[in-house]
Amino acid sequence: MENRCFYNSDGDFLIVPQKGNLLIYTEFGKMLVQPNEICVIQRGMRFSIDVFEETRGYILEVYGVHFELPDLGPIGANGLANPRDFLIPIAWYEDRQVPGGYTVINKYQGKLFAAKQDVSPFNVVAWHGNYTPYKYNLKNFMVINSVAFDHADPSIFTVLTAKSVRPGVAIADFVIFPPRWGVADKTFRPPYYHRNCMSEFMGLIRGHYEAKQGGFLPGGGSLHSTMTPHGPDADCFEKASKVKLAPERIADGTMAFMFESSLSLAVTKWGLKASRCLDENYHKCWEPLKSHFTPNSRNPAEPN
C-alpha cells in the first residue's frame, strides 16, 4: 500500500493473520501483528499495511457496534482475554510530503471511493482518548474448561464479542480453541454434535483441528450455517469413543478459531467457483458414522 491508505466508514475490522507478518500504520502509531495475534481497526481509522512475504489471513467486519470483551458473569474478575493483555500503538507520526499524490480509499455504504492529497495522513503527532486500534496475542488467553464431566458452552472460548440488542445473542463472536488440558470424565470430549442459531465460520491458523484432523488445512475455512447439524468427523468419533479417559493435552501446536454470527452468511461466487478451492467432498467425512444406540445395554433401574 505504497502512498495509499484505507478507512472504513461502515464498521470495524477484526484481522486474523495466518501467514506472514503485518506492519500496520495508523494515525495512532504502528503495530506489528504476527500469526497467532489479532488486531482490531475500528470504524473511521485510517491505516496502511506493509507485508514482507506471502501473506494471508482472515477478516471479520461488523456494523453498528464495536467489539468488546464478553461479560464474565460467575467467572468473576479474571479469565478468558484479560484487559491488561491488549496493546495499543505508541504515538508516532510521519511528516512527509507526497508530490505525486497520496491516495485515501474509503469504504462507505459498501462502495469504495478514492481521494488524493499531497501529504501523508499519518502526520498526527499526539492523541488521547480510548478509541484506538489494538492488538492481542492469543497465547495470553486464559482457558476455562470443564474439570468434572460434560461440556461447558463454547462461549467460554470467546475472545471478543459484538453484542446485539438481544441479551446472550451476538452479532458476532470471535472464539478460539487453544492448547489446553482435557480432564472431563464420562464424557465424549471432542466438540459435540449440534445445531444452533449461529452461523459458524471456522478457520485454522496453525496445526490440526481436533474434530477434523485431515483435509482442514491452515488458511482454510468451513461454514456451517444457522441450524445446520455438524460435529466431529467419523475418525474423530471412533477414536474418542474408545480412548481411555486420562488427563490429556488437547490442541498442542494448534490454534483454530470461529467467527460466529446470529446473522446468515453468504458465500461469494468467487468462493464457490472461481477460487477453485471448494472441497466438494467435505460432507463425506460424516458418511462412515454408524449408530451405536443400544437401549438394552444396561438396566435402567441401575444408577449411572
Mean pLDDT of the region 249-276: 94
Q: Which of 21, 20, 18, 45 is nearest to 32 (CA)?
A: 21
Residue 292 is a catalytic residue: no
Are 132 and 169 found together in one domain?
no
Q: What is the mean pLDDT of residues 255-276?
A: 94
Q: Is residue 302 predicted with pLDDT exceeding 70? A: no
pTM, whole model, 2 decimals?
0.92
Mean pLDDT of 206-216: 79
**Residue position matching grid coordinates 451476538:** 170
pLDDT exceeds cutoff 90 at 213: no
Please tell me whether residues 50 and 154 are part of one structural domain: no
Pairing of strands 255-261, 199-206: antiparallel
Mean pLDDT (the chain, rounded): 93
Q: In this structure, are 99 and 182 located in the same domain?
A: no
- Is 230 annotated in a binding site? The answer is yes
236 located within any domain: yes
The pLDDT-based confidence of 292 (bands split at 50, 70, 90) is confident
Q: Does residue 181 form part of some domain?
A: yes
Check residue 301 and give its pLDDT: 54
Q: Which domain holds residue 277?
A: 143-286
Same domain, 126 and 183: no
- Please report, as a single letter, which amino acid is at residue 163: K
Query: Is there a domain that residue 175 lies in?
Result: yes
Whether 208 and 97 share a structural domain? no
CATH of the domain at 272: 2.60.120.10
Look at the chain and report how many structural domains it folds into.
2
Same domain, 153 and 279: yes
Give φ, ψ of 146 to 5 degrees: -70, 135
User: Domain of 111: which CATH number?
Assistant: 2.60.120
What pLDDT, on a 0 to 100 scale, did the predictor assign at position 36?
Answer: 97
105-139 per-position pLDDT tens digit: 999 999 999 999 999 999 999 999 999 999 999 99
Q: Say whether pLDDT at 304 is over 60.
A: no
- The pLDDT of 76-94, averaged and rounded, is 95
Residue 52 has pLDDT above 80, yes or no: yes
> Residues 282, 148: one domain?
yes
Statement: residue 8 has pLDDT above 90: yes
Q: Is residue 292 included in any domain, yes or no?
A: no
On whether 194 is known to bind a ligand per the annotation, the reply is yes
Q: Considering only CA atoms, which of 171, 169, 173 is closest in space to residue 156?
A: 173
- 92 and 121 part of one domain: yes
Partners of 102 in the beta sheet? Answer: 117
Catalytic: which of 151, 208, 224, 283?
Answer: 151
Q: Binding residue per annotation — 134?
A: no
